[in-house]
A and B are shown apart, each in its own frame.
Chain A
Amino acid sequence: MHAAELKGLTKSYGGQHALDGITLKMEENRIYGLLGRNGAGKTTLMHVLTAQLFATSGEVKVFGSDPFENEEALRKICFIKESQKYPENFRVCDVLAVASSLYPRWSAETAEQLLKEFRLPQNKRVKKLSRGMLSAVGIIVGLASRAELTLFDEPYLGLDAVAREIFYRNLIQEYAELPRTIVLSSHLIDEVSGLLEHIYLIDRGRLILDEEAELLRSRAYSVAGPAAKVDAFLGGRSVLGKEQLGGFLRASVLGELGEGGMAAAKTAGLEAAPLSLQQLVVQMTGNEAGYEEGSA
Chain B
Amino acid sequence: MKSRTATVALMHARDKWTWLFIPWMVLLSSFIVNFAIGLIARPENFTTGGLMSILIYMLVAGIVVIHQTFSFALGLCITRRSYFAGTVAAAGGYILLSAVLLAVLLLLEQATEGWGVGLHFFELPYLSDSGAGLALWTFFILLLFMFFGGLTIGSLFRRFGKQGLLFFFLAATLVFGGWTAVVTAMDWWRGVGGWLMKLDFTIVQTTFLLLACTLVLAAVSYLLLRRATVQA
Q: Residues of A at under 8 Å CB distance from B?
A: 43-44, 46-47, 50, 52-54, 69-71, 74-75, 77-79, 81, 83-90, 94, 97-99, 101-102, 104, 141
Contacts beyond the supplied A54-B229, A98-B14: 13 A-B pairs with Cβ under 8 Å = A47-B232, A53-B231, A71-B81, A75-B77, A84-B71, A87-B15, A87-B68, A89-B18, A98-B76, A101-B7, A102-B76, A102-B77, A104-B1
Check if B80 sits within 8 Å of A50, measured CB to CB: no
Picked from A46, A85, A87, A102, the residue with its CB within 8 Å of the CB of B78 is A102
B191 at the interface (CB under 8 A from A): no
Check if B79 sits within 8 Å of A69, measured CB to CB: yes
Picked from B7, B226, B230, the residue with its CB within 8 Å of the CB of A47 is B230
Picked from B4, B68, B75, B82, the residue with its CB within 8 Å of the CB of A88 is B68
B17 at the interface (CB under 8 A from A): yes
Check if A99 sits within 8 Å of B69, measured CB to CB: no
Check if B75 sits within 8 Å of A81, measured CB to CB: yes
Q: A85 to chain B: which residues have CB within 8 Å?
A: 71-72, 75
Q: B97 to chain A: which residues have CB within 8 Å?
A: none
B2 at the interface (CB under 8 A from A): yes
Task: Look across to chain A and name the residue whose beta carbon is closest to the beta carbon of B70.
Answer: A85
Picked from A52, A70, A97, A141, the residue with its CB within 8 Å of the CB of B74 is A52
Q: A69 to chain B: which residues have CB within 8 Å?
A: 79-81, 226
What's the Cα separation between A78 and B74 when bound, in Å? 11
Q: B18 to chain A: which residues have CB within 8 Å?
A: 88-89
B11 at the interface (CB under 8 A from A): yes
What's the Cα separation between A104 and B4 when bound, in Å? 11
Check if B229 sits within 8 Å of A53, measured CB to CB: yes
B10 at the interface (CB under 8 A from A): yes
Task: Look across to chain B and name the residue whose beta carbon is closest to the beta carbon of A95.
Answer: B72
Interface residues of B in 1-29 (CB under 8 A from A): 1-2, 4, 7, 10-11, 14-18
What are 14 A-B contacts with C-beta separation under 8 Å? A44-B232, A50-B77, A52-B230, A69-B226, A71-B82, A74-B79, A88-B17, A90-B15, A97-B14, A98-B76, A102-B4, A102-B76, A102-B77, A102-B78
Q: A102 to chain B: which residues have CB within 8 Å?
A: 4, 7, 76-78
Interface residues of B in 40-75 (CB under 8 A from A): 68-69, 71-72, 74-75
Q: A94 to chain B: which residues have CB within 8 Å?
A: 14
What's the Cα separation between A19 and B14 when bound, in Å? 38
What's the Cα separation between A215 and B75 when bound, in Å? 34
Q: B69 to chain A: which residues have CB within 8 Å?
A: 87
Q: Residues of B at under 8 Å CB distance from A?
A: 1-2, 4, 7, 10-11, 14-18, 68-69, 71-72, 74-82, 226-227, 229-232
Q: B72 to chain A: which residues have CB within 8 Å?
A: 84-87
Shortest B69–chain A CB gap in Å is 5
What's the Cα separation between A88 and B72 when bound, in Å? 11
Task: Look across to chain A and name the residue whose beta carbon is closest to the beta carbon of B64.
Answer: A88
User: Which of A50, A84, A85, A104 neighbours the largest number of chain B CB atoms within 10 Å of its CB?
Assistant: A85
Q: B232 to chain A: which residues have CB within 8 Å?
A: 43-44, 46-47, 53, 83
Q: A77 to chain B: which residues have CB within 8 Å?
A: 77
Check if A52 sits within 8 Å of B75, measured CB to CB: yes
Check if A89 sits within 8 Å of B77, measured CB to CB: no
Check if A101 sits within 8 Å of B77, measured CB to CB: no
Task: Look across to chain B and name the residue whose beta carbon is closest to the beta carbon of A74.
Answer: B77
Q: A86 to chain B: which residues have CB within 8 Å?
A: 72
Q: B2 to chain A: which residues have CB within 8 Å?
A: 101
Q: A98 to chain B: which residues have CB within 8 Å?
A: 7, 10-11, 14, 76
Check if A71 sits within 8 Å of B79, measured CB to CB: yes
Check if A74 sits within 8 Å of B10, measured CB to CB: no
Q: B74 to chain A: which residues have CB within 8 Å?
A: 52
Check if A71 sits within 8 Å of B15, measured CB to CB: no
Check if A84 sits within 8 Å of B75, measured CB to CB: yes
Check if A71 sits within 8 Å of B80, measured CB to CB: no
Q: B81 to chain A: which residues have CB within 8 Å?
A: 69, 71
What's the Cα separation between A46 and B69 when bound, in Å? 20
What's the Cα separation between A271 and B186 when bound, in Å? 91
Task: Look across to chain A and name the residue whose beta carbon is closest to the beta carbon of B3.
Answer: A101
